[in-house]
């Protein structure tokens, strides 16, 4: 066994080396946040229920070996510790873990951990250097008792109302995007709180909720609404403020085109054989193109019928225009591989097991790269090791 220093994994030399995270979160937003901390070198001890563990351990198919791919997507580089908080001995270990932690991360319904004495008010009073991060669906006030799942928040938070075809059924994003955004916001909050603690010696309570995270992520659509521009509606793949910035039909399928300014528009129409469109008063400026979107798109799609989506992609990219086919995931990962972006991180098979691939962390750091030290853990795989570490103090 490696020597015990900051945590059961020992020293890593990574940016968050020496930071111990007591991770009481489950499902997606919290585990994603703690995985990013673990990728950066933090020792993350994932506390799980006896018998079932994290909910996503049962969210299959698909599976890789005996694990669901949902679970493996957000739980690499962690240690799994099984604790029953209703058991006095295990609760004592949970409190001891917190005493040795720099961060506690949880996403229980607000107030639920108070009955175990693991709430923010209790623990930050006992451990003033602790950064305590809470993730909820709708905050700790009037919405405290409302469970928050990504799909629900996409619906009530307005995202579905601006996703899909005009006049069609509201559509959710194809992944749990609100959970992902909330996990990233939680990561930012925890890192900022650590920086503040290093400067002042005092931790704090960081709170983030799915609804607020979604509303902040509406960016231009949200800003337009709060400044009186009306309630936006679904526009399919079109952009409310830029044209052409959408999918256009070619000779064999859709082509995604993102033209961000007048100079790019002039280059775009020159490549497709319609340079005259840049001189048309209706299309010479972006505001004019937005106002005459339907007429312009009709002209563009006639010209684009003369070649394939792949053919136009190559020609437009050579001219510095952002364009490309609408890829499925196989082509998307192939593209990232072709560009040298190394989109996956793979772990060898444990004895008698199956190799596990995870999607790589997108951070590229020149001096302290992210690490991929441990595959997503089997439930309770590290319980004995972590209990020994806790007993050693």
Average of per-residue pLDDT across 334-361: 91
Question: Do 334 and 355 belong together in one domain?
Answer: no
| Residues near 368 by beta carbon (within 8 Å), at least 6 away in sequence | 13, 14, 15, 40, 41
Range of the domain at 100: 20-217+344-391
Predicted confidence (pLDDT) at residue 158 exceeds the cutoff of 70: yes
Question: Do 171 and 314 belong together in one domain?
Answer: no
Q: 277 with 233: CB under 8 angstroms? A: no
Question: Do 207 and 61 belong together in one domain?
Answer: yes
Question: Do 209 and 332 belong together in one domain?
Answer: no
Global pTM reads 0.93
Average of per-residue pLDDT across 94-111: 96
Question: Do 31 and 161 belong together in one domain?
Answer: yes
DSSP string of 260-278, one letter each residue:
-SHHHHHHHHHHTT-GGGG
State the CATH number of the domain containing residue 180: 3.40.50.10540
Q: 305 with 358: CB under 8 angstroms? A: no
Question: Do 305 and 359 belong together in one domain?
Answer: no
The band of 6, judged by pLDDT with boundaries at 50, 70 and 90, is low
Task: Give domain status of residue 282, yes or no.
Answer: yes
Question: Do 67 and 110 belong together in one domain?
Answer: yes
Catalytic annotation, pick one of 54, 179, 307, 382: 179
Question: Do 48 and 154 belong together in one domain?
Answer: yes
State the CATH number of the domain containing residue 261: 3.30.1540.10
Question: Do 193 and 301 belong together in one domain?
Answer: no
pLDDT tens digits, 242-297: 999 999 999 999 999 999 999 999 999 999 999 999 999 999 999 999 999 999 99
Predicted confidence (pLDDT) at residue 392 exceeds the cutoff of 90: no
Q: Provide the pLDDT for residue 1.
A: 28
Rounded to the nearest 10 degrees, the angle between the axes of helix 383-391 and helix 88-99 is: 70
DSSP string of 67-116, one letter each residue:
EEHHHHTT-TTEEEEE--TTSHHHHHHHHHHHHT-SEEEE-SSTTGGGGG
- Rounded to whole angstroms, how far apart are CA atoms 295 and 338? 37
Q: 276 with 307: CB under 8 angstroms? A: no
**How many folded domains does the chain comprise?**
2
Question: Do 27 and 153 belong together in one domain?
Answer: yes
Predicted confidence (pLDDT) at residue 353 exceeds the cutoff of 60: yes
Q: Provide the pLDDT for residue 41.
A: 97
pLDDT tens digits, 227-251: 999 999 999 999 999 999 999 999 9
Domain boundary among 338, 357, 377: 338
Task: Give domain status of residue 14, yes or no.
Answer: no
179 catalytic per annotation: yes
Average of per-residue pLDDT across 194-212: 98
């Amino acid at each position: 066994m490696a020597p015990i220093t900051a945590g059961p994994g020992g020293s890593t030399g990574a940016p968050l080396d020496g930071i111990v995270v007591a991770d009481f979160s489950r499902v997606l937003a919290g585990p994603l946040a703690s995985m990013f901390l673990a990728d950066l070198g933090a020792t993350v001890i994932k506390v799980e229920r006896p018998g079932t563990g994290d909910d996503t351990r049962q969210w299959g198919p698909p599976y890789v070996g005996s694990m669901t791919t949902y679970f493996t997507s957000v739980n690499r580089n962690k240690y799994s510790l099984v604790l029953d908080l209703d058991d006095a001995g295990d609760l004592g270990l949970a409190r001891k873990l917190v005493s040795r932690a720099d961060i506690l991360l949880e996403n229980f319904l607000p107030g639920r951990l108070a009955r175990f004495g693991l709430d923010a008010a209790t623990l930050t009073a006992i451990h003033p250097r602790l950064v305590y991060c809470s993730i909820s669906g709708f905050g700790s006030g009037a919405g405290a008792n409302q469970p928050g799942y990504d799909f629900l928040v996409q619906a009530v938070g307005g995202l579905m109302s601006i996703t899909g075809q005009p006049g069609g059924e509201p559509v959710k994003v194809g992944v749990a995007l609100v959970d992902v955004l909330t996990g990233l916001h939680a990561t930012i909050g925890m890192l900022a709180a650590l920086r503040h603690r290093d400067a002042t010696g005092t931790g704090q309570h960081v709170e983030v909720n799915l609804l607020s995270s979604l509303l902040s992520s509406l960016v231009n659509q949200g800003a337009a609404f709060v400044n009186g521009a009306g309630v936006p509606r679904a526009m399919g793949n079109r952009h409310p403020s830029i044209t052409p910035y959408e999918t256009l039909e070619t000779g064999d399928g859709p082509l995604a085109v993102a033209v961000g300014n007048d100079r790019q528009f002039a280059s775009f129409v020159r490549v497709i054989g319609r340079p005259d469109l840049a001189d048309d008063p209706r299309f010479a400026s972006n505001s004019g193109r937005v106002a005459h979107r339907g007429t312009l798109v009709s002209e563009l799609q006639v010209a684009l019928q003369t070649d394939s989506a792949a053919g136009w992609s190559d020609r437009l990219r050579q001219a510095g225009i952002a364009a490309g086919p609408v890829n499925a995931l196989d082509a998307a990962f192939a593209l990232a591989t072709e560009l040298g972006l190394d989109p996956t991180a793979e772990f060898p098979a444990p004895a008698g097991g199956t190799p596990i691939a995870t999607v790589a962390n997108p951070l590229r750091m020149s001096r302290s790269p992210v690490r991929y030290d441990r595959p997503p853990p089997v439930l309770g795989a590290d319980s004995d090791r972590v209990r020994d570490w806790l007993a050693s103090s």
